[in-house]
A and B are shown apart, each in its own frame.
Chain A
Amino acid sequence: MAEMWISMGPQHPMTHGLWTLKVKVDGETVVDTEPDLGYIHRGVEKICEARDFTQITTYCDRLCYASANTWSHSYIYAAEDLLEVEVPERAEYIRLMAIEIQRIASHLMWLGAYGPDIGNLSVMVWCLREREMMMDLLQELGGSRMHYNFPRVGGVKRDLPHGFAQRARAKLKLFLNRIQEYEALFDESTVFLVRSQGVGYAKPEEMVNHGVTGPNLRAGGVNYDIRWAHPYSVYSELDWEPPVERSSIKGADCYDRYRVRVEEMRVSASLALQALDKMPGGADTHHEPGDPMILAKAPARAPEGTTGAHHFEDSRGESMFYIAGGGESRGKQPYRVSIRSPIFITIPFAAKCMIGYKVADIPAIMGSFDPCIGETDR
């Protein structure tokens, strides 16, 4: 049969955003793919060069619309490395809790979007129900619904509001019970199993060489996690293990990637609960904004020739910021901000994973890698 190229996207349910996947098909079989990105390239890196270190946080929030908090924290850690700020311990606990709640919200958004991808529409409503609880919690912290602008260079914007700890504990415990409902919805759905098992195999060594990390990598049966390999924050103080999936002999398939994310939500909820319990000063106390318990003084200027970098375990893999500071008469602004987006690197790999499968498997494979185009195009 003759081969031909088909453009999937930029408007296609498979894309989870705005990009084009060019697929070369032979009948029903995919023989070649080529991703085409950049539809929502906003030039964040260039904009950052004309902003103060504090102003950049808002732009980093907007890098990913499903996981804003992890991205602004990713930037803040790099900026603190550049400006040499020591963060108060209480602020680290508050951050850790905020990051893990955001990770749950991000995975729920993914799970909710992945269901309709492969013929399970009802699960979306169920996932968004619990995501709403997580967003309420983050809204209490940051003040807005999606883009929280919560961390500051040297700490956090605000302490936990009065009564937050009680509400957070209740919601997280309720959420831990409700995870079983998604598992029932997915694992007992024959349609889901048939479409997700046995497609999109990927092996760990191959994934590392291609730069794929995070849950996608852990689905392949290795427990590599930036949170223990290059530790930051106070993960060393809490009791946790990154979830790992027993993949099949051919590697991790879409079903493994789904399982590992569900397990990761459990771990994140437990981490957030532990952080509430172990917080120095107690989770029920409240400090005014700017209190040295939650915000350390930070210099506004970076000296000439200094750099800051930080690797961060984002919801989708390793995100990273590299900031070159200073430069001629512009110490208040960075000279160059470089952003590593995990999905920018993962999309070419996911596109390679599809080769050999049917056209109908494309949404199942692509969706299982959790693409987010906001961070990809920057």
Chain B
Amino acid sequence: MANIRELDVNGTRRRIDADASRTLLSVLREDLDLTGTKYGCGEGQCAACTVLIDGQPARSCITTVGAVAGKRILTIEGLAPEGKLHPVQEAFLQADAMQCGYCTAGMILGAVALLRSNPNPSDAEIVGGMNGHICRCGTYPRIIRAIHAAAGKGGRA
């Protein structure tokens, strides 16, 4: 398979030259310097590497760059492009929904996707929608609170 030459990331066409079998995560971090997307497990178990592909959440550590060529990729760096925080980012700040913050980018993008499909989720729906994300610091109750708060403030983006 030919190398991938271009990706649509955060609304911008970025030139790359990457073997199509490489992970999207490694291309974002190494080739495009978008280090906001984190490596946590390499097997899609922790969701620290979550990005949105055409609006749908995807684990970039098990997504090949070949599979996303031509699709719209949104990373955490693209969520507040003009410096104005997305309502979900704002809600995470307000709720102090983090400790070390390493899972936060993936959590926020997962929550953005959840709220797009379900603008006013119940506790159980948040748990169901976010259960693939690990916060080892255990800030889960605050994250649930933040998602509720964002839902109340038009967090569907």
Tell whether A pairs with B.
no
Interface, chain B (partner A; CB < 8 A): none
